[in-house]
Structure 1
Amino acid sequence: MRFARWILNQADVVSLDPQVSDANAVAIGDGKVLAVGSSEDLRVWIGPETEVLDLGGATILPGFHDAHGHVLGYALSFAQVNLVGSGSEQDAVERVVRFAATLPATVPIVGRGWDQNLWPERSFPTHHLLSSCFPHRPVALKRVDGHAVWVNDWVLSRVGISRGTPDPVGGQLVRGVDGKPSGVLIDTAMSIVEHLFPQMDDAEVLPWVAAGLKRLADYGLTAVSDMGIDPLSYRILRLLDERGELPLRVVGYLDAQRFLDMPVSMYPPVTKHQSGDVRFTIAGVKFYQDGALGSRGAALCTCYDDDPDTKGLLFYDLDTFTQKLANVMDAGYQPAVHAIGDHAVHVVLNSLERVLMKPGRAGLRPRIEHAQIVLPQDLRRFAALGVVASIQPRHAVSDRAWAGARIGKKRLENAYLARSFVDAGVSIALGTDFPIEPPDPWLAWLAATERTDLDGQAPVRGGSERLTKMDALIGATAGAAFAAGLPGLGSISPGKWADLTILNLNPLKQHGLAADPWKILGTMVGGIFVKNPCGTSTSSA
């Protein structure tokens, strides 16, 4: 008889398998779940080489899967000046000055994390203060959402940006009252200055990515959907996988903007998790159809409440985008589309409606990333078309200081949805959008189930959009696996991969904000412990 490699015993097993109930043990072998049940039932799986871990009442969950993150951006955020939480333009510049003092004088300065909505003026910074501190050195500082970059005059002059420079399609050069570019470039305009800030080579990037992935695993994640794989991150992740050095699964979505000059036939091929050892795969292609609310780049049906001269930026018209979707789907790639504003979401759904008329494409399970504002008539179209809503509940908390003024009370009724998607029969997948938000599943859980943060303050959209604890857990496990097209993950079921997260408590039994944050005791990917819970090992159950 076949025996188990591991028996995880004396545990509270939350399997998310409707065929399993009241289980307290899991048998694992050859990277997969062999059986789930009682300690007594699983004794038959114990052989001479089986290790039995007594978990002392800890909770075993299907592995946490962050449905939307950015691995390279997260990893490199630790190599750049961190502007998250800066309280003003002055504070941000002072941070840059301190960081620059640690670098050779000729090295370009890059950073990320500023949010003008949290500053007293709530207006975009200008190049003037930055230029006075760095008159002869290139500086590029990305906004927290990655959809705008703040540069100094050295950069503007070097690339020839002036009063007469037109805004590119899908982008904007923010200008002062005199019409001159002020130093902030939004969305596609950012590409104008990218060549002044050469990327690190593979050897330089690799240790940062390896360290970043370890940090993600330490949060209890066993998988992430990496939204925006470029050629560099593809090479790094593939190399780490070949070396057996990935501590979690990475489901990659190729950044369509980074592969613009390459025909679809030349894209890295779609791959699947064929074994417990293969941890990096390519599932689809990530498109951007608009920008972000924080920089007023999200494409709205009507003008912003706090800027009546703009509706945001739509990247592609209906016909163009429909053809792009058709090209990648016919090549077997799952489409994942960034769409935040209600107009962008509407156009994407219209394109998908056209594209999905062709047989065979529906099985690719299209997903819309963020979907932060959705027209009431579009809500049920998600379910009708089989479109997954990939959402990040933390944004409803982080945007609370400014979103109401930006989009107005009426539009806010259709924004930051979660419960409404579930009630409409839409499949949801939950992520954090790291590094924009922390990749901590506990904080995401609070935002999803309590619609708040550790400070207990109300979000921009309140309690009516709370998810039940079970819906939140499904969204962070089975829902994320479903969205990524991974039928072998998402529940603790015989025959599925043994990807597990082990906590000190059962989150389904916690009550309100008074509950203590959970502790990650262990994680397992493909039957291999990434973090061993250090239970008592014995030879029998």
Structure 2
Amino acid sequence: MAVKKLLLLCLCLVSHWSQAQFTVIHNVNGYTPNRAGEIIQFSTLVIKDGKVVKTGDKDTIKQYPQSTTIDGKGLTMLPGLIDAHGHVIGLGDNLSRLNLRNAKSVSEVGAQLKNYAKENPSGWIIGRGWDQTKWTPSHFPTAADLDKYVADRPVVLTRVDGHAIWVNSQAMKLANISQHTQSPDGGEILRLANTQPSGVFIDKAEQLILQKIPKPSNAQLNKALDKASAHLLSLGITSVHDAGIDKATWQLYKTRSQQHTMPLRIYAMLSASDPHLEEMLKAGIVKEQTDYLTIRSVKIYADGALGSRGAALLKDYKDRPGHKGLMLENQPALESLIRLSVKHGFSAHTHAIGDRANRIVLDSYQNVFKDTGGKLLRNRIEHAQIVDVTDIARFKQLKIIPSMQPVHATSDMHMAQKRLRESQLEGAYAWQTFLKQGIKVAAGSDFPVELANPFDGLYAAVTRMDKSLHPKGGWRTAERLSKQQALQAFTLDAAYAAFQEFKLGSLEHGKWADFILIDRDYFEVNNEQLFNIQVEQTWIAGKLKYKRH
């Protein structure tokens, strides 16, 4: 009899202990996509060991009487949002450097530069965010424009898209730039009427200056990672696809992963332009058990950006006759990099913005798949902004995922109308056309080129308007996404683009409990209000990572 009682007591204790491992979050207005393409609604989420056990209704809590319970207070719950294209260390740097995003003229840049120089009295001055297309007049600035404000220290200001830099005379002097310096292949040194360098360096010409800037220390890299991650978590982003990391960042991520101190999930792409690429490839795929760090792809650059007229076009720019943009790599070089990636089992993710670049990249993938394979590696084209309509179907045929940034359409629309003809715009920012072909679209922001807030991206995807609600009704509205399609692109389809659809992207049984609580109902709020949504809490693997004060 005593043995029976002891056994019963043990069973009760085991039952109590196992129940106590469950966390039940109830009283939420929950939505999740599922792999069947539906949106599931729920009011209760059950978590154990950082993973989703189930979603259910208000009665589900009764099945877990000994669990830890949390009242969601009626807030809307969504899966953690995934940004499929950003630059983490770049964002972290930006948060502590000179930010020129809101400057509307050269004189406004100058005023900000002067103040920043006073507050940071030594060393190189590094900044980012200028965009000459938003100024009047909208032509490129010069070194002399900066010399008026800071002449005794080197100044390097990166254009908002990262594809051009504007420097002062001191920076050119330290880099030994002269009238006789030649533009490298895949780059352009803009020149004054007297053929002297103007102070603006486009695409591969940037390296003539950037190579002279002192490399960041390990402490600075750690600080940038932590700063960027805190910002991203506050915006509801639980996972980022980091588009092009160098060897120093590769080492940083691996160290932080081994220390279990990665602040959010990162799927990192090795930068094809890093001289240590082969060394990193030979070290093999990184995929650790908690899915905080995955490294299994290579970021390749095919062309430049539209704003600096570096995007490679099939026909001339409408506003610069005789100019078709810049290919940063020719087709044999692209094929060589793709082949090198797939031979090591890494996916190839290639930056292509213009229609000529997209076509050459598609041709390159096709040729590599024929002789080397790699078609099933979920290779991607990053941006795929301007694609000739005849090439869109090839993405499906070649199993290429377009990784696209909805905010680019609303940021670029006025400039794109000036740069491109109507025929060139037919396949531009064509999200809905891709989806109708049965092609998954992975959505991101390209931070710090754009602001990192994913609700800006969801708003742009659904409305194709800027935040001033222009143009009324949206720009090229046939390409708008529904709210469900937009959410899927920032969750499950972004996860798919990283081989993570069975781990992330939705709140389904067995997946990591990555979710956010927001202050209004994503599906019920007016489309025009989507960018006003505020994140109240962000959770990764069932642990609270951010709470709004």
Normalised TM-score (structure 1): 0.93
The yes-or-no answer on 1:465 pairing with 2:484 is no
Q: Is contact 1:492-1:498 (8 Å) kept?
A: yes
- Once the 2 structures are TM-superposed, how far is the Cα of residue 223 of structure 1 from its aligned partner? 0.6
Stretch deviating more after TM superposition (109-118 or 449-458): 449-458
Q: Is contact 2:282-2:344 (8 Å) kept?
A: no
Aligned to 2:307: 294
State the Cα deviation string for residues 352-405 of structure 1 (Å, max 9, x = none). Answer: 112223576222100111111000111111111111111111111112332211
Task: Tell me the distance in 2 between the aligned counterparts of 1:20 and 1:162.
Answer: 60
Aligned to 1:251: 267
Task: Tell me the distance in 1 between the aligned counterparts of 2:279 and 2:49.
Answer: 36
Task: Tell me the distance in 1 between the aligned counterparts of 2:306 and 2:39.
Answer: 43
- Once the 2 structures are TM-superposed, how far is the Cα of residue 21 of structure 1 from its aligned partner? 4.2
The yes-or-no answer on 1:413 pairing with 2:429 is no
Task: Tell me the distance in 2 between the aligned counterparts of 1:301 and 1:86.
Answer: 33
TM alignment of 1:137-152, pairs within 5 A: 137-152=153-168
User: Aligned pair in 2 of structure 1 residues 280, 261: CA closer, same or farther (>3 Å)?
Assistant: closer
TM alignment of 1:1-80, pairs within 5 A: 2-3=18-19, 4-17=21-34, 18=36, 21-47=40-66, 50-80=67-97
- The one-letter amino acid of 1:30's match is D
TM alignment of 1:269-418, pairs within 5 A: 269-275=284-290, 278-357=291-370, 361-418=374-431
User: Aligned pair in 2 of structure 1 residues 433, 58: CA closer, same or farther (>3 Å)?
Assistant: same
Q: Is contact 2:300-2:337 (8 Å) kept?
A: no
User: Aligned pair in 2 of structure 1 residues 360, 400: CA closer, same or farther (>3 Å)?
Assistant: closer
Q: Is contact 1:77-1:111 (8 Å) kept?
A: yes
SS at match of 2:481: coil
Q: Is contact 2:91-2:224 (8 Å) kept?
A: no
State the Cα deviation string for residues 299-337 of structure 1 (Å, max 9, x = none). Answer: 111111111131111122222211210111110111111
Q: Is contact 1:31-1:527 (8 Å) kept?
A: yes
User: Aligned pair in 2 of structure 1 residues 468, 183: CA closer, same or farther (>3 Å)?
Assistant: same
Aligned to 1:537: none
Stretch deviating more after TM superposition (453-462 or 318-327): 453-462
- Once the 2 structures are TM-superposed, how far is the Cα of residue 464 of structure 1 from its aligned partner? 1.5
Q: Which has the larger radius of gyration?
A: 2
State the Cα deviation string for residues 52-88 of structure 1 (Å, max 9, x = none). Answer: 1121332221110011110011000122111112111
Aligned to 1:215: 231
User: Aligned pair in 2 of structure 1 residues 22, 137: CA closer, same or farther (>3 Å)?
Assistant: closer
The yes-or-no answer on 1:504 pairing with 2:523 is no
The yes-or-no answer on 1:480 pairing with 2:494 is yes
Q: Is contact 2:461-2:486 (8 Å) kept?
A: yes
- The one-letter amino acid of 2:482's match is T
By relative contact order (CA 8 Å, sep 6+), the higher-ranking structure is: 1
The yes-or-no answer on 1:453 pairing with 2:454 is no
Q: Is contact 1:443-1:453 (8 Å) kept?
A: no
Stretch deviating more after TM superposition (312-321 or 429-438): 312-321
Task: Tell me the distance in 2 between the aligned counterparts of 1:186 and 1:265.
Answer: 28
Q: Is contact 2:459-2:530 (8 Å) kept?
A: no
- Once the 2 structures are TM-superposed, how far is the Cα of residue 515 of structure 1 from its aligned partner? 6.2
User: Aligned pair in 2 of structure 1 residues 116, 272: CA closer, same or farther (>3 Å)?
Assistant: same
Identity of aligned residues (%): 33
Tell me how large the CA RMSD over aligned residues is. Answer: 2.1
TM alignment of 1:188-199, pairs within 5 A: 188-199=204-215
Aligned to 1:204: 220
5+ residue gaps in structure 1? 535-541
Q: Is contact 2:234-2:548 (8 Å) kept?
A: no
- Once the 2 structures are TM-superposed, how far is the Cα of residue 506 of structure 1 from its aligned partner? 2.7
Task: Tell me the distance in 2 between the aligned counterparts of 1:506 and 1:423.
Answer: 27
Normalised TM-score (structure 2): 0.91
Q: Is contact 1:264-1:327 (8 Å) kept?
A: no
TM alignment of 1:61-210, pairs within 5 A: 61-104=78-121, 106-210=122-226
Stretch deviating more after TM superposition (313-322 or 74-83): 313-322
Task: Tell me the distance in 2 between the aligned counterparts of 1:187 and 1:143.
Answer: 11
Task: Tell me the distance in 1 between the aligned counterparts of 2:288 and 2:64.
Answer: 26
Aligned to 2:11: none
Q: Is contact 1:393-1:448 (8 Å) kept?
A: yes
Q: Is contact 1:416-1:461 (8 Å) kept?
A: no
Q: Is contact 1:412-1:461 (8 Å) kept?
A: no
Q: Is contact 2:27-2:72 (8 Å) kept?
A: yes
Q: Is contact 1:264-1:328 (8 Å) kept?
A: no
SS at match of 1:523: strand
Task: Tell me the distance in 2 between the aligned counterparts of 1:37 and 1:260.
Answer: 51
